[in-house]
Structure 1
């Protein structure tokens, strides 16, 4: 495991004292769940806003559903990091959802200051994560500072979906991811990164290739890629491991690492193992899609939950299974972790504050 040096840097990552997460795209809209401290549903955020209209007839706030978030099959999270209260805030957008409409509606619903977002990080080249990128960039004012778009350099021509049991029948291709040229044309500054690196004043770590070391996590069996070679007709080829996938990590003082894993094609156990090996810090929160929703991946739910609940020590304080995690996965996590499994969704905001008094008491993580 990586040592922790005296400067507080771990793989170049600087711990923060304040982290705010706003979920801008997710499959679920959650209005009624009981959430832990620091979590806030969308409805009370609207009701507490000074701009909420008061109904002149009844004298109470109007719940204007036109101004609320919508669900969509995809993921996007706004990550706001701050080292200390008197230091600069960094706004980073992790993924942009599946289409040109949901990200725009939800950014407006949550009153996101889009011109202050300095970087978009794309987890991987699948359109349910890249589809809103161009419309997001076009929302920004022409006078705003340029927004960096952080991408893996290996952009596929096309990706598609094959179905079990043989995975030989391709039922369709995903919409095209935006090209580097289109991103530049929409006002983004393209940065290509295949290796791990820090961004946002070194308060966010963006991974490189995720090591595949867990026996039962064998990628996405139905993933296929269209390949073009000079002088030859294009053809589909199996691509279960989606090697361009990247996770994001933030270290909060006195709490530990918050992991953002948008789809977990690498397997969330592989992601967690890489984080533990790289940072030697406890895992405080795991956020995002665990990609265990389809019937052919259901056998992975048991060993995944067993690792997270029983083999990782100390275990995560919270897991937020979102996007492609699936109903059975959520049920299994709730059964194993109780209130540690949080039913988050689009419009939910999370605030995590550091605790310097607890920093020296954090246990070094291990897994069996």
Structure 2
């Protein structure tokens, strides 16, 4: 069994996501963005009515990407703050960190889920913001936890041959280099193996085994490679550098972060269950089921989460690249267990050590 410690408190704050969701009723422990501003962030007060303003100029913005702050704590110990991905670019990460009053100096580690710029694009900006914090000099440098196989370039292309580069739709912006991360104040830690971080309270997976028949990776994925002094685009449907993160909450089970699920969320869940033999309490992130070419994956994915995984997840938070059709299907199958999360939301889960003694073992039917 992997060395993952069970925590007594878990908090996630969503810093970057495609969606802004203010209105939907949320389960206990979930908080919309607006109440956090009005109650916790010292909002500006209207001098006429003595009422706090909904200060839209300084609220979160949506962006095509993902970033979440993970707080983990074991009773009697100090909390740990881990950033999972950083969104696509400099503007959204900077605005939303400021909007949510994120304590950047307390963030010990950035976990990059995979080398795609909609997840890595804000790393350098985050590191610079952290370094500029008035408390940063009292903290150790931030570790940036990455897979060692950083590509020269990636792009998305039409299905079919990629000869001559003609089918390329567009090249993704470059991921930050190891040298750029170090120059911005980060400490690069590159690993393709699973490992525990945050004093053992957060698990970073290794390469995710591909064991399902219907989850076929990123069909439009291509990668630039150089051979004998010449470069070319080659197909890369399986992004083997992708990793997920896991937290184990006492009396609840595993909380899984899968930022894009190019490996397939069923493969992610199967690997987590096999690794930890703990039930899955919550699934968070992009499930990569958007687009016409991925429609056939929706039904078997939903069937697995709703019917084959036992116990089924208490909550599924389909975000980022999940897609509207998949969200509808998940809501139809899971009901209130499918939570419409978005940027600015906060999720708090309190552990229960007594309940942990009778927690059900997971099974896959």
TM range (shorter): over 0.9
CA offsets 1:306-349 (integer angstroms, 9 cap, x no match): 00000000000000000000000000000000000000000000
Residue matched to 1:213 = 211
Q: In structure 1, how many angstroms separate the alpha carbons of the residues matched to 2:193 and 2:161? A: 34
Residue matched to 2:221 = 223
Provide the TM-score with structure 2 as the length reference: 0.96
What pairs up with 1:176-255 in 2 under 5 angstroms? 176-229=174-227, 231-255=228-252
Q: In structure 2, how many angstroms separate the alpha carbons of the residues matched to 1:55 and 1:357? A: 47
CA offsets 1:81-105 (integer angstroms, 9 cap, x no match): 0011x21110000000000110010
The 1:165–1:224 alpha-carbon spacing in structure 2 relative to 1, beyond 3 Å, is closer
Q: Give the match's secondary structure for 2:254.
A: strand
Residue matched to 1:105 = 95
Q: Which of the numbers 7, 20, 31 marks the counterpart of 1:16?
A: 7
CA offsets 1:48-91 (integer angstroms, 9 cap, x no match): 0261121011221111111100000000000000011x211100
Residue matched to 1:163 = 158
The answer to whether residue 312 in structure 2 is matched with residue 320 in structure 1 is no
Residue matched to 2:69 = 78
User: Do 2:302 and 2:333's aligned partners in 1 also have CA atoms closer than 8 Å?
Assistant: yes
Q: Give the match's secondary structure for 2:71.
A: strand
CA offsets 1:138-162 (integer angstroms, 9 cap, x no match): 0013624200000100000000001
CA offsets 1:163-205 (integer angstroms, 9 cap, x no match): 2466771111100000000000000000011100000000000
Q: In structure 2, how many angstroms separate the alpha carbons of the residues matched to 1:78 and 1:101? A: 17
Q: In structure 2, how many angstroms separate the alpha carbons of the residues matched to 1:280 and 1:233? A: 47
The answer to whether residue 147 in structure 2 is matched with residue 148 in structure 1 is no
Greater CA deviation, 67-76 or 166-175?
166-175
Q: Give the match's secondary structure for 1:140.
A: helix
Q: In structure 1, how many angstroms separate the alpha carbons of the residues matched to 2:170 and 2:108? A: 35
The 1:38–1:167 alpha-carbon spacing in structure 2 relative to 1, beyond 3 Å, is farther
User: Do 1:167 and 1:221's aligned partners in 2 also have CA atoms closer than 8 Å?
Assistant: no
Aligned residues: 357
The answer to whether residue 328 in structure 2 is matched with residue 331 in structure 1 is yes
Greater CA deviation, 302-311 or 165-174?
165-174
Provide the TM-score with structure 1 as the length reference: 0.95
Residue matched to 1:34 = 25
Q: Which runs of 5+ in 1 are unaligned?
A: 1-9
The answer to whether residue 299 in structure 2 is matched with residue 302 in structure 1 is yes
Residue matched to 2:352 = 355
Shift of 1:352: 0.4
User: Do 2:41 and 2:101's aligned partners in 1 also have CA atoms closer than 8 Å?
Assistant: no
Q: Give the match's secondary structure for 2:193.
A: coil
Q: Give the match's secondary structure for 1:71.
A: coil
Residue matched to 1:3 = none
Q: In structure 1, how many angstroms separate the alpha carbons of the residues matched to 2:305 and 2:246? A: 17
Residue matched to 1:365 = 362
User: Do 1:241 and 1:265's aligned partners in 2 also have CA atoms closer than 8 Å?
Assistant: yes
User: Do 1:167 and 1:222's aligned partners in 2 also have CA atoms closer than 8 Å?
Assistant: no
Greater CA deviation, 236-245 or 58-67?
58-67
Q: In structure 1, how many angstroms separate the alpha carbons of the residues matched to 2:261 and 2:162? A: 20
User: Do 1:263 and 1:323's aligned partners in 2 also have CA atoms closer than 8 Å?
Assistant: yes
User: Do 1:226 and 1:236's aligned partners in 2 also have CA atoms closer than 8 Å?
Assistant: yes
Q: In structure 2, how many angstroms separate the alpha carbons of the residues matched to 1:75 and 1:50? A: 23
Shift of 1:236: 0.3
